[in-house]
Amino acid sequence: MLDQMTLNDTVLDAAREVFETMIYMDVETNNEASPVIEGQSLLGSITFKGCLEGCLAVCVSQSCAERIAKNMLGMEPEESLAIDETCDAVGEVANMVMGSIKTRLQGTYPTIEVSIPSVITGRELRNTLGDKAVKAVVSAWLDEQEAVEFSFLYREAKH
């Protein structure tokens, strides 16, 4: 089983790698003020199985999701974006962050198969896996202005 602090660091390091290299946004945590996602939001999730089974989710507000999509697509802030493009971008972020986590865990957990991502929209969205799941939730700021929540839930597979 992963140490909780190590798990949080793994999730945060993976998110930083993806956001800084692929989306050109900084991911920062702040012990004094925990960011909260309000209003309409998008949750991109991706499941995995193998040595571990569980789910990774990335949750952001609608406006943050649009900024992410525009950065990924090389668009200007004033350009318009279809909701399916925004959803695709959030799903791809979940996919890339999960890929980065998988790489970091491969020495300890060599067999992890990843599904395709899915995205839902709504309010107060949460990622759950049941009572026995180990959970790491990292709330952070994107470019010091938008809230993002990364949740990684897993349990060791029974063989």
- What digits encode the pLDDT tens for the residues 37-81? 989 999 999 999 999 999 999 999 999 999 999 999 999 999 999
Per-residue model confidence (pLDDT) at position 159: 62
Per-residue model confidence (pLDDT) at position 103: 96
Strand partners, 42: 60, 121
**Could you tell me the sign of the dihedral formed by the alpha carbons of 68, 72, 76, 79, in that order?**
negative
In which residue ranges of the chain is pLDDT below 50?
none
Helix/strand/coil percentages in the chain, nearest 5 = 35, 30, 35
Per-residue model confidence (pLDDT) at position 91: 98
Per-residue model confidence (pLDDT) at position 33: 67
Per-residue model confidence (pLDDT) at position 139: 93
Per-residue model confidence (pLDDT) at position 30: 77
Task: Give strand ranges (E) for 16-117.
Answer: 27-28, 41-50, 52-61, 112-114
CB 17 within 8 A of CB 96: no
Structural domain of 122: 4-156
Distance between CA atoms of residues 93 and 109, nearest Å: 22
Per-residue model confidence (pLDDT) at position 93: 98
- CATH classification of the domain holding 95: 3.40.1550.10
Number of domain units in the chain = 1
Per-residue model confidence (pLDDT) at position 118: 96
Per-residue model confidence (pLDDT) at position 5: 67
Closest by CA to 71, choosing from 24, 28, 26, is: 24
